[in-house]
Amino acid sequence: MAAARTQDAAPRRSMLGDIVDSIFTPGTNSGLIRAMDMSFYALFVTLAALVVMTRGNGHVCALFALSIGLFVSIKWFLVQIAESEEQYRREQLAKEQQETNDAAKGGKAQ
């Protein structure tokens, strides 16, 4: 019974904890990306309300379009970073496998 409680009480990382951790570690984590998404969603709701309240003011519409463009470009950039990291990992794995194969062949030749 106590073991079950211990496993259930395992510390779960909160979004705030992920944000604080991202300050001290390189790269991004899911909590940081989630916080960014929520911030942008709040901005979109605010700007949409402003568009309605100002009856489609051009400046507010332009700001809304710019914020959507910024959000999309950040999301695209994060995808590109993830793909680049994955490609680097695959290249490193292939390099290590090649070195292992070369070492095995060299050991057999002697």
The answer to which of 18-32, 36-50, 84-98 has the lowest mean pLDDT is: 18-32
With vertex at residue 15, the alpha carbon angle to CA 79 and CA 74, rounded to the nearest 5 degrees, is 25
CA-to-CA separations, 37 to 9, 43, 60, in angstroms, rounded: 28, 10, 21
pLDDT over threshold 70, residue 21: yes
- Average pLDDT in the 9-32 region? 79
pLDDT over threshold 60, residue 10: no
Query: Do 29 and 35 contact (CB within 8 A), yes or no?
Result: no
pLDDT over threshold 90, residue 16: no
pLDDT over threshold 60, residue 109: no
pLDDT tens digits, one per residue of 63-103 = 999 999 999 999 999 999 999 999 999 999 999 999 998 88
- Residue ranges of the domains in the chain? 13-109
Strand, coil or helix: 29:
coil
Contacts of 55 (CB under 8 A, 6+ apart): none
Strand, coil or helix: 14:
coil
pLDDT of residue 106: 73
Indicate the average pLDDT of the chain: 87
pLDDT over threshold 70, residue 19: yes
